[in-house]
Chain A
Amino acid sequence: DVKVTQSSRYLVKRTGEKVFLECVQDMDHENMFWYRQDPGLGLRLIYFSYDVKMKEKGDIPEGYSVSREKKERFSLILESASTNQTSMYLCASGILETQYFGPGTRLLVL
């Protein structure tokens, strides 16, 4: 079974803090993705990566950056957290057409 793990299920941070969300997959997938999910807005793509050290902006990259130093690990960074970044963050990895999602991190920025 594919396993995608995310470092935290719940996280509370203060405005202005730097936040790291980690994602690890164990299936040697080339492709990895970060989404956020908000009520009424659905899943929106923040960043994606099709290879180590490669990254591409998704639909809503502002306020975020990513790092992919190893194939199995894809990190999402909030350089200076703001209250409008309170959301559910979902990581996914995939091969060809199918994506496998992690359990999500629910982030609250106060």
Chain B
Amino acid sequence: SQKIEQNSEALNIQEGKTATLTCNYTNYSPAYLQWYRQDPGRGPVFLLLIRENEKEKRKERLKVTFDTTLKQSLFHITASQPADSATYLCALVARGSQGNLIFGKGTKLSVKP
């Protein structure tokens, strides 16, 4: 069956460390993959998009990698801050689909001072 999984429901790290979140997928051929941030009681906010032919994308302290062999995307936040605490969602669009996003269930990141 088709699945998109974010392996950790929650991740706790110390301020200043690098947070690494994982997104794995099964039985999809993603055209691209996106990462969103969601704060409690708010809608998700788009962060980064990476296409199937790209290995890595960066934006300020954020980095996303995409490995189509491992069927995995990693999302990194370097020099993490308490303000980075939120739930992070990965989402993919399958190649040949109508273009709708399929979301993982999210990983709740807590950055402790």
Interface residue ranges, A against B (CB under 8 Å): 4, 33, 40-45, 48, 56, 58, 90, 92, 97-104, 106
Contact = CB atoms under 8 A, between A and B. Distances in A.
Nearest to B105: A42
A98 B46 contact: yes
B33 to A, nearest CB: 10
Binding site of B, secondary structure by majority: helix, strand, loop or mixed?
Answer: loop
Given A43-B89, A104-B41, A99 B46 contact: yes
Which of B34, B46, B93, B98 has the most CB atoms of chain A within a 10 A radius of its CB?
A: B46
Nearest to A38: B105
A103 B89 contact: no
A56 B93 CA distance: 17
23 contacts: A40-B105, A41-B105, A42-B103, A42-B106, A43-B44, A43-B89, A43-B103, A45-B100, A45-B101, A90-B43, A90-B44, A97-B32, A97-B34, A97-B49, A97-B93, A97-B99, A98-B34, A100-B46, A101-B45, A102-B43, A103-B43, A104-B42, A104-B43
Contact of A56 (B32, B41, B91, B98): B98
Nearest to A2: B46
Nearest to A101: B43
B22 to A, nearest CB: 15
Contact of A99 (B32, B101, B106): B101
B43 A92 contact: yes
A36 to B, nearest CB: 11
B88 to A, nearest CB: 12
Given A44-B103, A98-B49, A103-B42, 20 more contacts: A4-B43, A33-B100, A41-B105, A42-B104, A42-B105, A43-B91, A45-B100, A48-B100, A56-B98, A58-B100, A97-B32, A97-B34, A98-B34, A98-B46, A99-B101, A100-B46, A101-B43, A101-B45, A102-B43, A104-B43
A41 B43 CA distance: 16
